[in-house]
Structure 1
Amino acid sequence: FLVNLAVAEVREGAPKAAPEDLATIEEGLRRLKVHGWRSEEEEAGRAPFVRRNLLLLHFVLYCEKIELSLQESTQRALSELQHKVKTIADMLFQYCLQNRWVKAALTVTEVEAMLVSGVWDHKDDECRELMKAKWTRQGLKVPKLTISANAADVECGAQATIKVEVTRLHAYSAEELAEVLKDQGPTGAGKQAEQPQPKEGWWVIAEGIRTQKGADKAKCTEVLAGEEDLSHNSLVGGQVLACTLDAPMMACEINFEAPAHPGEYKVMVHVRNTGCAGVDVRRKVTFQVKQPYTGRGKATAAADDVPELD
């Protein structure tokens, strides 16, 4: 796809980035020892269009660290590239959801958020401060969420439901919302049409957590407790959440077919935003899948090992 994109750029006469701008960006990335520019070996073998696109996108991430006023031609090239990357990222995200690739889907949301926010790491404290300053200059609040999620026990093969409630601690007051609408509203004389309220959007992604037998099972418990990075698994379900800026809460339900085998199941619910880095939240949900009631005594005991969500 990237090769076809490069060929199309040549045929269509895509905007050319100024060589001196690219050289300045490259020197800045080397000075910062960014991954990919730490040695000659890392830089070797890159095709010109790959080098150009990588430099422009990394300039977006490290614009606060690299002092450079882009020339007009480079600005046009960057604007077009950002549009194409956004299109590709949206396609990748949907493809990941269709194939139930949770880790890849979560990674896409992180990359999109960093490119929109202009920061190089969604977990770095310096990046958080830079992003907060940018939002403040725009008259906006940095999102801050808390999440609660629960699921009732269910019989094998029946419909399971995870209920999710997200509290927006950054909800705008009436005065704050009026100020935002004033700043973003159209200018000019005469009476303006009533402006629709801006909305805030989130992805809710439910991830089935695989557990293992014996010692590995204990390790998985530590992972879920946040002591290690999560071992990502398959997609259980997903929903889109959207609300006005003054809404104090968002809620949704994720429905899916319960596994065919009885036992304890764990799901991690992620709430992700593609426009702001480092503000995502997550919550673990545990529920029991039981044998269907047959009316002929107790159900068969579940196996010793904890089953997996496929």
Structure 2
Amino acid sequence: MDPGPTLDGMQAADDRFMQALQKVTGITDLSEESVRQAISEMTVEQRQALAAEAAELKKNMFEHGKEEERQLYFSTLNNEADRSGMPVGKDGEFLAKKMSSFMDKSTEQTPLPVLLEALAAAPYLVKDALAEAQQVDAPKVGAEELERMEAALEALGADCFAAPPSPKRPPIVRRNLLLLSLHLNRKRMVEVELTEVALKASSHVVALAKRLLDMLFAYAMQRAWIKVVLAVTELQALIANGLWAFDDECKQRNKAQVAFYGLKPPKLSVRAKVNDAFPGETATLEVSVARAHVHSADDMVAYKKMRAAEEAEVAKEAEAAEAVAVTKTAEEAEAATEAEATEAAAEATEAAGMKEAAEVAEAVEVTEAAVAVAEEVTEAAEAAEAAVANAEQQQQQQQQPTATAEVSPNLPRSPDETVGAAEAAADADCEGWWVFAECVNSRGAAPLPNGPTAHNSLIAQQAVSVPLDGPSFALRLDFPAPVGHGDYMIHVHVRSCGMVGVDARAKVPFTVRAKVHKAKRAERAAKLAAAVEPTAMPELLCAEKGGVQAVEPAGA
């Protein structure tokens, strides 16, 4: 049974709270009356700073003595993740420190180069690269090829390489950053000669970086770091599509990729409203999103036909590859059998001059048996080829009605081309979106008293999956109203982690009303009543039976 906070712990917490109060308000007299007066005169910023300190004290009080259990839990969790090849706690701490370092200096959205540098230097990627370097027989990306990549990225002005010469980085970090940047800029580096080893290494590093981004995304939402959340969604979309920026060229490329899969480029219109609330109460944000790119019934029929044709083509290619494999296996078996027969015949011929006629006859029988086996294998191979050809002919006859289905524009499909969430959403006939609510800090970059820089915060979020033929979607997001009364602004972001340049945003004003004490309300009511007394008015109109009569005020 947990004994809870001890008396010594509670006394230490009280002392720490009083120290925090002195630090925030600057009072020196710690009498009860002085403390009450200081608390009543605190500003909104001071109340927020003191509330944060009190929450930390409460957490320390009720978690006292459970540190060993918590450490054991996290240790077990990290060990399981490490055995599964997933990021562990130190990777999250590393990324969080990198983000915090930037946030200490700026309230802007985290730049993509900062994210890329953090990913390349994360322990998760460094450990994997070192393990690969220690494998003697494993193919590796050569130093000359890395230099060619770096020169090409510098010539393009890519992120992290825009101002040559590039800064000195540890070799492993430089390698990871080059392979990440190669994936993002591959479509405009077609003239650079790259080996298959480099392309595979780039794909591997990107797969690991996606896991780190998922970890950072979850951590940033937990800490309400809205600027980090938005930056992560942008980088996820760029990685998913193999693009390098949110400029017009990349947006057009993304539209072409979306159209290639029979989808319409998203066009969203966002509306939102929120009712006023009192400090600390639960407020509700209502969001409605209209999809101007909704698929009609004819669009869905054409889209499904196109998908069926693509799936049939993939199945045909798989069957053809299987037929080639069967034929190759049969040819290898036939060649091996003929070699065995030839060897047996040679041995029989050699034995003919050395052994008796009976042995020669036995060798001839062995040769004839080997030839018979070879003929049987050849017949089996021919039968397999005939069966495959017959299956292909039947499939073509079955697919003939869909052969005239309308196909999306003839864009080149290369093995290394990625389409991001567009293809994944198409598989389920749905689009995936994130909706984030950002509360704008009215103080801007002004720091709190004795505190860090004040940032905008993430107050609510929700993932949404929308059918392609759905004209709109709506949702309600609940969030606690700020503790300080006044006017606020909320930015509603509708974001895609798989498509570039399709995000939408709306601004919603929001008021937190001040709570009026009962005594103050009674005082205001009394003042209002006194303001309408006849003696306090220069002229009063009174209704009488005969009409309206002007009454002179007293003392006139």
Assess same fold via TM > 0.5: yes
| In 2, Cα distance between equivalents of 1:11 and 1:171 | 48
| In 2, Cα distance between equivalents of 1:102 and 1:198 | 29
Q: What RMSD in Å do the two structures reach over aligned CA positions?
A: 3.1
**Which residue of the other structure, out of 240, 243, 264, is the alignment partner of 1:119?**
243
Which one has a bigger Cα radius of gyration? 2
Bigger helix share: 2
Give SS of 2:168's match.
coil
2:281 aligned partner, one-letter code:
A
- The aligned counterpart of 1:3 is 123
| In 2, Cα distance between equivalents of 1:168 and 1:106 | 21
**Which residue of the other structure, out of 438, 448, 460, is the alignment partner of 1:237?**
460
- Do the aligned partners of residues 181 and 69 (structure 1) sit closer, same or farther apart at CA in structure 2, a change above 3 Å counting? farther
| In 2, Cα distance between equivalents of 1:100 and 1:162 | 17
- Do the aligned partners of residues 291 and 40 (structure 1) sit closer, same or farther apart at CA in structure 2, a change above 3 Å counting? closer
> Equivalences for 1:50-129 in 2 at 5 Å?
50-67=173-190, 68=192, 70-122=194-246, 124-129=247-252
Deviations 1:74-100 (A, max 9, x none): 232122212111111111011000001
> Equivalences for 1:144-183 in 2 at 5 Å?
144-183=267-306
Contact 2:125–2:205 (8 Å) recurs in 1: no
**Which residue of the other structure, out of 189, 193, 208, is the alignment partner of 2:439?**
208
Give the drift of 1:154.
Answer: 2.0
Structure 1: segments with no counterpart, 5+ residues: 218-230, 302-310
Bigger strand share: 1
Deviations 1:133-185 (A, max 9, x none): 22222322221111000001223332100000111111112222233333344
| In 2, Cα distance between equivalents of 1:159 and 1:261 | 14
TM-score between both structures, scaled by the size of structure 2:
0.46
- The aligned counterpart of 1:289 is 512
Give SS of 1:96's match.
helix
| In 2, Cα distance between equivalents of 1:21 and 1:181 | 43
Give SS of 2:478's match.
strand
Give the drift of 1:4.
Answer: 4.2
Contact 2:154–2:161 (8 Å) recurs in 1: yes
Give SS of 2:507's match.
strand
1:47 equivalent to 2:170? Answer yes
Contact 2:176–2:205 (8 Å) recurs in 1: yes
Give SS of 2:188's match.
coil
- The aligned counterpart of 2:53 is none
TM-score between both structures, scaled by the size of structure 1:
0.79
| In 2, Cα distance between equivalents of 1:203 and 1:144 | 15
Query: How many residue pairs were aligned?
Result: 281
- The aligned counterpart of 1:248 is 471
2:148 aligned partner, one-letter code:
T
| In 2, Cα distance between equivalents of 1:28 and 1:82 | 19
Give the drift of 1:66.
Answer: 1.0
1:259 equivalent to 2:486? Answer no
| In 2, Cα distance between equivalents of 1:57 and 1:300 | 67
Structure 2: segments with no counterpart, 5+ residues: 1-90, 92-121, 316-394, 400-425, 447-453, 525-556
- Do the aligned partners of residues 211 and 11 (structure 1) sit closer, same or farther apart at CA in structure 2, a change above 3 Å counting? same
Give SS of 1:271's match.
strand
1:10 aligned partner, one-letter code:
L
Give SS of 2:187's match.
coil
- The aligned counterpart of 2:414 is none
Contact 1:241–1:251 (8 Å) recurs in 2: no
Deviations 1:206-240 (A, max 9, x none): 11111139xx99xxxxxxxxxxxxx9611111111
- The aligned counterpart of 1:228 is none
Higher relative contact order (CA 8 A, sep 6+): 1
| In 2, Cα distance between equivalents of 1:260 and 1:290 | 10
1:282 aligned partner, one-letter code:
R
Give SS of 1:120's match.
coil
- Do the aligned partners of residues 37 and 159 (structure 1) sit closer, same or farther apart at CA in structure 2, a change above 3 Å counting? closer
Contact 2:182–2:202 (8 Å) recurs in 1: no
